[in-house]
Structure 1
Amino acid sequence: MSEAEALFRRAVALREVQDLGGALDAILLAAKAAPGDPNAALGLAQISFEAGLNAADLYAEAARLQPQRIDLQRSRATALAAEGRQLEGEDLLEGVLAANPGWIEGHRCLCGMRATVGDPDFARSFPAAIERDPANFGLRMAWFHVLATARQWDDARAVIADAEAALGERQPSLLGKLFIASESGEAADNAALFDGVEHVQDVGLDLARVRHFLRGGQIERGRDVCLRHAGTAAMRAFWPYLSLAWRLLGDARVDWLDGGMRDVRAFDLGFSAEELAELARTLRRLHTMNEPWHEQSVRGGTQTERPLLLRIDPVIAAARSRIEVAVARYIADLSSPDPAHPLLAAPRGRSLFAGSWSVKLRPGGYHAMHTHPMGWISSALYVTVPEEPRRGAAPAGYLQFGKPPPELALALEPYGLIEPKPGRLVLFPSTMWHGTVPFTDGERMTIAFDVVPAPAIPNPPAKA
């Protein structure tokens, strides 16, 4: 094995255990030892980006070495936007899409970039592409999904109507129409809405079914759809809805699953006022967007991109160290292992961050009720919180648990609420419904993350 290959493997191993500082040192040496190597060039770009460094030009070099990989242009565009070069990123994607109109991931990336700067015509790349490739049904449905995620129901309906007029009804467009009818409220009270597609087995469709059944009072049907995913990886998306069904049915198993606030814990991380002020200044510099991505829970605020807690910034690293101590305490204090439980079944060893970000809410802002099906343990670390006179009377700005999403119109109250305080970290199961109460005035800024159990590594790399 060459020196460059050994360094590259070391960089990959350190990245996998989220030691980005060590990974960066190793990949820099690998790229120096093997200039022009496409793997080293791409590794340097990826690790630099995740570590919070400028990476757009590094992605450009990686793309030059692998011109057949247009996905690298998407990464380069994302890096350009992160560096404040949004228009360059948009121009780059527009150029690639002109040559590859059917590149769906490129369209999605461009739509997201435009949405986060508040562009009302964020999906305008799709019509031109479809004009060039009118028989591409998947491209038309991708356009529909982008609009539906933004809850632009009329535009989404029009896209499906045009697709079917040009190419005929197909299963994806049929399911899309059912989704709109249910989620927009147009046919929310139609108990038989999904009966014609009982033969279609699809996780996304089942989620739509469950939401429709719960919304329409068909609680047993919703419960049964959830339970048919028991024992599968997809079940993590259905546990929150099964919780609602069990509560509505008075099923005692909901205490086994949620236990009210049993697994919600708050920790004081011991930050001084000066440390919190420095952390707030650091985070504010990272909030460069005007609006959140449409698929995020943020309402009236912004969410940072890139994995926040992997940045090599010393202020972020200091916060991460305190967070890791609290996470370890939370895991150590969990109830006895239970192989059937979404929280208690996981191994209790090392953990990794599956995602991490900061949210800054403006006056009137809040988090919609949601869950994190890709996580195991989720969180909120409060960095800045307006004082109560500005925030509004309690529970303004509080974090609430167990309340259903309002669009389901279910008569269930929250399990409980936690008051936000600077330096307070709240940890809870990722499958639990959570959101925040709007507040009146001031700034409410948090660090949030998901934790997952770390996979077993036979010989973990030593830190450099």
Structure 2
Amino acid sequence: MADPFDAELWRDKARGLRAAQDMLRADSAIQEAARLAPSDPLTAFLRAQSAYELGHPAAALFAEAVRLWPENPDVLRNHALALAAEGRQVEAEAVLARALAARPDWLDGQRVLASLRYSHGDAESYDAGFAEAVRAQPRHQGLWLGWFTLRAQQRDWPAALRILDEAAHHLGETRQLAVARAFLASESGDLAEAQAQLAALTGADDAFLVLCRIRTALRAGQPERARDLALPLTGTHLAGQVWPYLSTAWRLLADPLAAWLDGDPVLHGVLDPGLSAAELGELAMLLRQLHTASLPYAEQSVRHGTQTDRSILLRHEPLLGSVRTRLMEALRDHVAALPLPDPRGPMPHPTLGRPRGGLQISGSWSVRLGAGGFNVTHSHPVGWLSAVLYVALPGDPGPAPAGALQLGAPPPELGVSLPPYAVIPPRTGQLVVFPSILWHGTYPFAAGERLNIAFDVVPTSA
């Protein structure tokens, strides 16, 4: 009879290997743990999750994990995601719908169901689950705010306002609804109303509210206020989110700290990871097979295209493993050549002041854009360095800067007129790297296909 302690040892080994991103050996270890403890719920879940993250069929494994651990909503959610990944969209939705019928206030389940529906082409009624849930539980504020967030992510301001008005009818004007109204007013262009709403909100600000205040200050032509709101947060868990706004404020104020932060010239690299035309062609074929969605997920920066799920550079395919090795080698060389931080800086530099030992992928994905496609301007708050590998590009994207990457220009919706630090036309096989906190986006192109792999890395040691 197998010793449960042996299974636990294998499970711990799998965790350690997974933390080191040695995904294949981690999978072998968790398989051994599952062999020794086939009825253990946690081991069954981890076994299914490992297969899913590697890109293997995992729905059957999750079904077994659900049988062993039916009360764990994470297992059920991931079962649905695995079904969808295998092209079983109807079954995936049914799994979530059954669970939500019994527990409509399961917010994560509602979000995942809406996301699956939207990414597979239902851009109209993807949020029907939230609509049904608030009818069943009209005094559940989390459901109303979750529904509002879905529509706000699509910038569907009339629908978002209707949701808040209906929520207030059932709940009264709570502080959380007032925060949402201030956000909606600011983002939809009603600056006077946003300022009035924000002035009325007293007490401690959460992350959402302070970012709303910063964005509103920039829209109002108050870079000093945006700077003063952002600066104290650079030493907190919100640092990754506020640095790009601080950069914008400093640039508007002609403060030399903008150059200290972003570099002069801007910190970036254009690298050659050494992938041949044949390797890029094979990689393009593989990536196209992995783009199965009809629309991008609602919260993503992609327009007129799709983005893959899971971490693409941690999948099982040998080609992706080889590409990952080449990309990480190029990144390590780039990191070794980064300048040292200026010791006269007012605070530790968020990019140059980080450790430069090991590197680890904190997220990776592929973006496939069609005619008119682009990425809206954004930043990556949890990354250190961000990179993009161009795998396939349009033959004729149109007049410059069509299809190019811009670094540094803030999002247009802030109403701030600042040019990009750099505009980089893409080249097949080229790897571009830049600080994750830097505003970046791409320009639309006329026709064809733009296929890439993008990823973030973080340092692992000094």
Q: What is the 5 A alignment of 1:1-40?
A: 2-40=5-43
Matched residue, 1:106: 109
Contact persistence 2:359–2:459 (CA under 8 A): yes
Contact persistence 1:116–1:292 (CA under 8 A): yes
Q: Which of 450, 455, 460 is residue 449 of structure 1 equivalent to?
A: 455
Matched residue, 1:431: 437
- Name the aligned partner's letter for residue 432 of structure 2: V
Contact persistence 1:190–1:216 (CA under 8 A): no
| 3-state SS of paired residue (1:10) | helix
- Name the aligned partner's letter for residue 319 of structure 1: V
Contact persistence 1:187–1:193 (CA under 8 A): no
Q: Which of 377, 383, 394 is residue 385 of structure 2 equivalent to?
A: 377
Shift of 1:189: 7.8
2:396 maps to 1:396: no
Distance 2:193 2:140 in 1: 34
- Name the aligned partner's letter for residue 435 of structure 2: P
1:389-410, CA deviations, whole angstroms, 9 ceiling, x for partnerless residues?
x211221111110111111121
- Name the aligned partner's letter for residue 139 of structure 1: L
Distance 1:276 1:144 in 2: 42
Distance 1:88 1:359 in 2: 26
- Name the aligned partner's letter for residue 380 of structure 1: V
1:253-308, CA deviations, whole angstroms, 9 ceiling, x for partnerless residues?
11110014442101112221111110000000000001111111111100000110
Contact persistence 2:266–2:421 (CA under 8 A): no
Q: Which of 261, 266, 273 is residue 269 of structure 1 equivalent to?
A: 273
Distance 1:110 1:239 in 2: 33
Shift of 1:2: 2.7
- In the alignment, structure 2 segments of 5+ residues that lack a partner are none
1:131-186, CA deviations, whole angstroms, 9 ceiling, x for partnerless residues?
22122122111111111112111111111111111121101101111111110113
Distance 2:410 2:27 in 1: 43
Contact persistence 1:403–1:433 (CA under 8 A): yes
Q: What is the 5 A alignment of 1:155-234?
A: 155-187=159-191, 191-234=195-238
| 3-state SS of paired residue (1:229) | helix
Q: Which of 390, 407, 415 is residue 409 of structure 1 equivalent to?
A: 415
Shift of 1:313: 0.1
Q: Which of 113, 121, 137 is residue 133 of structure 1 equivalent to?
A: 137
> What is the identity percentage for the equivalent residue pairs of Structure 1 and Structure 2?
46
2:424 maps to 1:418: yes
Contact persistence 1:299–1:366 (CA under 8 A): yes
Shift of 1:192: 4.2
Contact persistence 1:189–1:216 (CA under 8 A): no
Contact persistence 2:6–2:36 (CA under 8 A): yes
Distance 1:161 1:287, change over 3 A: same
- Name the aligned partner's letter for residue 148 of structure 2: F
Matched residue, 1:346: 354
- Aligned Cα root-mean-square deviation (Å): 1.4
Moved runs in structure 1, 4+ residues, more than 6 A?
none
Contact persistence 2:357–2:461 (CA under 8 A): no
| 3-state SS of paired residue (1:284) | helix
Distance 2:137 2:461 in 1: 43
Matched residue, 1:461: none
2:71 maps to 1:65: no
Distance 1:6 1:59 in 2: 22
| 3-state SS of paired residue (2:235) | coil
Distance 1:309 1:296, change over 3 A: same
Distance 1:410 1:148 in 2: 21
Distance 1:98 1:412 in 2: 49
Contact persistence 1:334–1:344 (CA under 8 A): yes
1:67-125, CA deviations, whole angstroms, 9 ceiling, x for partnerless residues?
11122111111111111111111111000000011100000001111111120211000
Distance 1:224 1:427 in 2: 30
Q: Which of 80, 83, 92 is residue 83 of structure 2 equivalent to?
A: 80
Contact persistence 2:355–2:459 (CA under 8 A): yes
TM-score w.r.t. the length of structure 1 is 0.95
Shift of 1:323: 0.5
Shift of 1:199: 2.7
| 3-state SS of paired residue (1:135) | coil
Distance 1:271 1:188 in 2: 53
Distance 1:53 1:247, change over 3 A: same
Contact persistence 2:121–2:294 (CA under 8 A): yes
Q: Higher mean Cα deviation, 227-236 or 437-446?
A: 227-236
